[in-house]
Chains A and B, each alone.
Chain A
Amino acid sequence: MPQTAISERIYETFFAKLAESENVSRETLASLRRLYESDQLANKQRIALLVQEMEVGHAKDKGTDS
């Protein structure tokens, strides 16, 4: 969890804005949120795993334009 109420507020705003972004999938958003809630958003290994998940998701999405 974030260090202070201020950083918590910034994270919440970030997630709210990210939810409005067309370029970020719901699955990615949910995974990021889980990492944040388990205080792992700065963990390199966890983020690398998230990137792998994102790639698998995009690989399934045949409609993605190159």
Chain B
Amino acid sequence: MPKIKALTARCLRGIREATLPFEGRSVVLLGENGSGKSSFVDALEFFFTGRVSHIEGAQTVSTLRHAPHIHFSRDDAAVGVEFDQPLGAVFRTFDGFPSLPTELQQHVELGARSTFILRRKNLLDFIMAQPAPRYQQLAAIIGVDDLDKAERTLMRARDDLRDEKQSLDWQVQEVEKSLNELLGEEVSTDEQTLAALSKKLVTLKQSPLESFDEVDARKVALVSQSMSPADTQRAVKVQDTLNTLVGLQSDIALLDRHRRLWDEVEALHQDVERVRQFLFQQVLEPSRRLISDFELDRCPVCLQTIDRETLLTSLEGRIKNAEQIAQKASEIKGLRAALVEQVRVQLARVKKLTSQLLELELPPEARISARYVAHMKRLLSALEPDPVEMRLPSLETYIQTPEVKTFADYVGNLLPGLRSEKKRLEPTERDRLAVETIDLLTRVTDSRQTLSRLRPQRRAKTATYREMVAIYECFVRTKRAEVQKIYRDLESDIKRFFQFLHQGEGYRKISLEVDEDRRASTEIKMSFYDRTQEDPRAFNSEGHLDSLGLCVFLAFVKRFNPGFPLVVLDDVVSSIDSGHRQHVCGLLSEEFGDYQLLITTHDDIWFEELCAHQRAHKREHLFVNLRILDWTLDGGVRLDKYKPRWERIEEKLGDADKTGAAAETRKTLEWFLYEMGIAIGTPVALRRDVRYTVKDLYDPFVRRMRKLVSGVYQSNIAVFQNLEANGIFGNLLVHNNPRAGSASLTEVRSFVSAVRAFHDLFFCDQCGRLVEYHRSANEIKCRRGCIMWETK
């Protein structure tokens, strides 16, 4: 398997130019927060994929704009990786790779399609998430989050089609309803329409029609057989105009039939807070990513301190609310489409009325019509915005307005005049029947033509909608089933890894279940002692959930990345305690021994533990342990090879760095007392903040030692006394005490020696571990028994 020999980043993220010397081995990289260690992880991701995923997905940040170093452009940024022979070395820029040899090309492509990086953010999100966001986190970990984007796009296309189809359904229904009313029976085909029309003609004392082709000829004949052609034509026009007026009059109150739209919009807007959150939807997701990815502890705008965890939880909730509002908004869109269509029909009638009145040489009241049209257009404008931004004045303000009232009066006033003219033009029964027949024929053929235009449109829309439903449902079903299959494949490894990390802690079964009823949602179930298949948050600490996320990722890598043995863990075990971290070391060494690892951490104790584990298991030759000395924006990172803790402290003493040497020694003493306190079961007064000082831990520890192994204590009493005599210097020098400067280098050296002697008393060089108390065996001993003290 090809191994990386060196990773070089130029002008990328926080790095101006730096090389991480893998030397074909795994790398453990220690650096404080913000020191640039994750920039190396970003560089590795950029090399294989051309992107830095954690700065993508939000509108405000992107790889193209934010991956290059802040002082450089995309043209300057490059990442090079040197592999073992025969692959060799190559640089990737924003323009991609130069032409690559086949084998290297294949390896890079394999990397691009593998999920090999686990960031702390992934785990934090995983812990906090509800089922739906958890699915997204898992999707990011297992590398299927791109499917979600496609799924959402298909879903929107399906919903848009549904709305358009509903609008066409409504239009067709309206025309059909009016045609049925006209014919006095329900018709759905041309044949039925023709038959019903013929029946109706018979009632008007006319002969039935053989086909619709005869309609025009029939109308001409009726005109010629009745009164003067001019009067007949005028009678027809009068009747047409009356029809338009009746339609207008009937639909002046059309808004009453759409009251539900107002109710729904009002209900939506009553929940002001949720709507506000929805309006912030475009901001919420980027904000969540910003706060999560960049681990901000201050608001970037007002610079006030924030509780990051609480804020992230709140953001998750708000994003969920926004999704619910989006669904409601979709329903409102459907109602709006129907209303808009009806208003447009009404506006078309107004236009038609004007031309009809002109044809009848009746001067139209253009101003009244124009004011009514303007009023209805204002309604259309008010309906235009997205439902959550729709500010609809009350329905009454559209119905009870001067524009509507004046127009209604205008229409109402026109009716009697036209009706009397119609009567005047109907001198004989025969003529009246002829006019009614012509009107019937005109209206039926108009409806028929409208239906012949709308029905094919509706058919095509319905078929397209059905096809899109089939596509979308197939996509969702396949994704659910395949993701569930992946979960099943992973379960045994997840369980094995988790049990390895939490040996003897009663965990029986871990399962991941895709929720069948939701678009994208995953439940985690865990069996713990007698509790069966419950949410792990019910009985797990944050550290346990953290390690569960780690196990999911590692199980995935193991199962699905064959041929690409690279694993990157970017600051992911910070909440796991020391004992379990030892197991993480063991798990990585047993299950991923042949992988190349890049482990970054800001935690120097975890770094030391990893180094000690390498020494204890004779695996030092497989690792390069590096620490980032410092980072500046212009200078970038400065790397140094790992030196054992005591060697580093000696180096500081050599440089006369009194404060540095004392600070690191005191920190070591605190860590040591904490770990040993746990190892021998020291009773200590609990602190809510879990921050114990040397003072809190030392006296109880000594009492415990004297109780368990008084002989060991007595024979090493000088070590304890020496520490007690020197402890004051650690205190003086660490806490910026003004008297610190007065401590001499000799005094600090004496403090360091005292702490080291104390540490070495309990530390086994062979095992690389501290001793532990084994109550059942009445022993305090190291792992292999090199140190063994019998207890009372």
Contact = CB atoms under 8 A, between A and B. Distances in A.
Contacts of A32: 471
B463 interface: yes
Interface in B134-148: 142-147
Interface string A24-40: 11001000100000000
B475 A14 contact: yes
B468 A66 contact: no
B161 interface: yes
A23 B467 contact: yes
A13 to B, nearest CB: 5
B471 A13 contact: no
A40 B463 CA distance: 23
Given A5-B113, A6-B486, A32-B471, A14 B146 contact: no
B744 interface: no
A18 B483 CA distance: 18
Contact of B479 (A10, A55, A56): A10
A61 B463 contact: yes
Interface residues of B, number: 43
Contacts of A13: 478, 482
Nearest to B560: A6
Contacts of B464: 51, 54-55, 58
B456 interface: yes
Contacts of A66: 455, 458-459, 462
B470 A44 contact: no
B699 to A, nearest CB: 55
Nearest to B456: A59
Contact of B474 (A17, A41, A61): A17
Contacts of B161: 51
Contact of B468 (A4, A5, A17, A51): A51
Given A21-B470, A28-B467, A54-B464, A6 B459 contact: no
A59 B456 CA distance: 7
Interface in B441-470: 455-464, 466-470
B475 A23 contact: no
B156 A64 contact: no
A8 B113 contact: yes
Interface size class of A (residues with CB under 8 A): 35 or more
A3 B145 contact: yes
Contact of B478 (A10, A28, A56): A10
Contacts of A59: 456-457, 459-460
Contact of B143 (A7, A11, A42, A61): A7
A63 to B, nearest CB: 10
B279 interface: no
Contacts of A3: 113, 143-146
A54 B161 CA distance: 11
A10 B142 CA distance: 12
Contacts of B470: 18, 21, 23-24
Interface string B155-187: 011001100000000000000000000000000
B664 to A, nearest CB: 42
B460 A64 contact: yes
Contacts of B143: 3-7
Of the candidates A14, A28, A61, the one having the most CB atoms from chain B within 10 angstroms of its own CB is A14
Contacts of A41: 150, 153-154
Contact of A54 (B147, B150, B467): B467
A9 to B, nearest CB: 7
Contacts of A8: 113
B486 A42 contact: no
Nearest to B49: A3
B478 to A, nearest CB: 4
A64 B463 contact: yes
A17 B470 CA distance: 11
B149 interface: yes
Nearest to B144: A7
Given A6-B560, A13-B478, A66-B455, A47 B144 contact: no
Contacts of A18: 470-471, 474
Contacts of B459: 58-59, 64-66
Contacts of B455: 66
B115 interface: yes
A28 B460 contact: no
B456 A51 contact: no
A54 B461 CA distance: 9
Given A4-B115, A51-B157, 10 more contacts: A4-B113, A6-B560, A9-B482, A10-B478, A21-B470, A21-B474, A42-B150, A56-B460, A58-B461, A58-B467
Interface of A: 2-11, 13-14, 17-18, 21, 23-25, 28, 32, 41-44, 47-48, 50-51, 54-56, 58-59, 61-62, 64-66
